[in-house]
Amino acid sequence: MQESINPWEELKEALRHQALASGFDVAGFAPPHPPPYSDHLPEWLKQGCHGGMAWIARQPERRMNPQQLLPGTGVVLVVGINYRPPPTKTHSPFAAYACHDDYHTLLKKRVQELGRWLEEKVGSPIAHRAFVDSAPVLEKPLAVAAGLGWQGKNALLVSRHFGCWLLLAELFLALPLPPDSPETNHCATCDRCLRACPTDALKTPYQLDASRCLAYFTVESHDPIPLEYRKAMGLRIFGCDACITACPWNRFAPVTQERNFLPRGELLFSSMVDWARLDADEFARLFDQTPIQRLGVIRFLRNVAIALGNWHHPQALSALEGLLHHESPLVREHAAWGIGNLGGFPPKNY
C-alpha cells in the first residue's frame, strides 16, 4: 500500500528547492516558537552587552517570539548565502562582508521573490514577511532551529559545510509547514575563537559583549573609540573577522559562488594614505552600495586615523598630520592619538 504524501511536506520541499535554485546556499525551516537561547536575551541586555545599540533593548519580546512579528506564523524559512572571499596575499582592513555589494539589498530581493513564488505556487495570497537585518529578529538562533548549523562560542552561526561564512535572511510564513530538526553543537572543547578576539569580547563562551567588540566600535559607535581598544584595532577600519577566521570549521567552506559577493578590487588594493585624503563626495563614490557607506566620511576617517597610528609606516605620519587639520573634532582627536602612538608629540584633545 502506497504511503500518502503529506501536501505540506511536499510544498515545504518545493519551497526549499526553489530557494536553492534562486541562489541561496542553504534553506531550512524553523518552528514558530521562541528559538534556542532566546531566553538569554534579557540577561544579556541587563549586563549591557549591547553597548550603545539602544534599539536592541526595545521590545525584546518581539525578538524572542516570531508571532510578535507576524501573527499566525506557522513556520520561518531561514536562508543563507556563502560569502567566503577568495584568498588574497594582502590584508584587508575591512570585514569580508563589507568588501562587496551590500548583502541586505540582494538577500531582501531574493527572499521577497520567494514569497511571490510561493503565492503563485499555492494560487492564493499568503501572509508573509521578509527580513534581512530589518526587524528585531534573532536570526542566528532561528537558523539553529532551522537546522542550518549551531551557535558557536563566537556567538555566530557555524555550519558544517560553510563554517561561519553565511549571510542570513528570513521569510515568516502563515503556513503550517513542518519544521526541520535543529543541528547539534559541535564546538566541543575548541576555544580558538575566544583566544583570537583582540579585546576579550568573548570572555563568556557563546556570548558576545558588544561593548568590548571592535566590530561594534568601528561600525556602530558614533563616539570616540575608547583609548584602551585603539591599539587592539591594529589596521582594522571597518569590522573585525578575528573570531570568524579562527573557527576550524571554516576549512570545509568553499569560496563564494555569488558574483555579487566578490570583493571590489579598489577596496583590496587602495592605499591607506589615499583613504586619509577622502572627502565626502569621494567617500560616497568609492564605497557606493557597500556596507561601508553607512559609516559616513567622518567616522570612516576616525577609524583610518587609528589604523594609521598603528601602521608604523613612513607615510603614516604625514597622512595623520593632514587629518590633524580636518574640520571634524572627532577626526582631529583620533589623528592626534595616532601621531602620539607613532612616537610623535604626546596625544591631547584637538
| Sign of the Cα pseudo-torsion (304, 306, 307, 312, in order) | positive
User: Cell numbers at residue 328, please?
Assistant: 571634524
Tell me the H-state helices in 91-241: 103-122, 139-145, 192-196, 214-215, 227-233
Terminal C-alpha separation, the chain = 83
pLDDT value at residue 307:
97
| Residue 327 resides in a domain | yes
148 shares its domain with 208: no
210 shares its domain with 278: yes
State which residues form the domain around 227. 199-239+270-341
| Residue 275 resides in a domain | yes
pLDDT value at residue 90:
75
The model's pTM is 0.93
220 shares its domain with 299: yes
Structurally, how many domains does the chain consist of? Answer: 2
pLDDT, tens digit, 9 for 90 and up, residues 278-290: 999 999 999 999 9
Last residue of a domain, one of 132, 155, 173: 173
Give 294's pLDDT tier (boundaries 50, 70, 90). Answer: very high
224 shares its domain with 169: no
pLDDT value at residue 226:
97
CB of 200 closer than 8 Å to CB of 192: no
| Residue 259 resides in a domain | no
| Residue 118 resides in a domain | yes
47 shares its domain with 132: yes
| Residue 90 resides in a domain | yes
Task: Indicate the Cα dihedral angle 299, 294, 90, 106, nearest 10°.
Answer: 170
User: Hey, is 178 helix, strand or coil?
Assistant: coil
pLDDT value at residue 56:
87
User: Hey, is 269 helix, strand or coil?
Assistant: helix
**Residue type at 232?**
A
pLDDT value at residue 350:
44
Q: What region does 34 belong to: left with phi over 0, alpha with psi -120 to 50, or beta?
A: beta
100 shares its domain with 52: yes
| Residue 210 resides in a domain | yes
pLDDT, tens digit, 9 for 90 and up, residues 233-251: 999 999 999 999 999 999 9
15 shares its domain with 162: yes
pLDDT, tens digit, 9 for 90 and up, residues 150-186: 999 999 999 999 999 999 999 999 999 999 999 999 9
Active site annotation includes 133: yes
- 40/161 Cα distance (integer angstroms): 27
Q: Is the pLDDT of residue 24 over 70?
A: yes
289 shares its domain with 162: no
Q: Is the pLDDT of residue 348 over 70?
A: no
pLDDT value at residue 75:
98
42 shares its domain with 159: yes
- Strand ranges for 135-210 from DSSP E: 150-151, 157-158, 166-173
Q: Among residues 133, 180, 281, 288, which one is catalytic?
A: 133
Portion of the chain with pLDDT greater than 90, in percent: 82
Nearest to 233 by CA among 330, 318, 311, 347: 311
133 shares its domain with 223: no
DSSP string, 56-97: GGSSHHHHH-GGGTSTT--EEEEEEEE-PPPP-SS--SB-GG
142 shares its domain with 102: yes
Higher pLDDT, 343 or 115: 115
Could you tell me the strand order of the sheet in which 166-173 lies? 26-30, 75-82, 166-173, 128-131
| Residue 153 resides in a domain | yes
pLDDT, tens digit, 9 for 90 and up, residues 54-110: 888 888 888 888 899 999 999 999 999 999 999 887 788 999 999 999 999 999 999
| Residue 180 resides in a domain | no
pLDDT value at residue 318:
95
Question: In this structure, are strands 157-158 and 26-30 parallel, antiparallel, or unpaired?
Answer: unpaired
Nearest to 33 by CA among 166, 156, 155, 144: 144
102 shares its domain with 213: no
Q: What is the mean pLDDT of the chain?
A: 93
User: Cell numbers at residue 271, please?
Assistant: 592605499
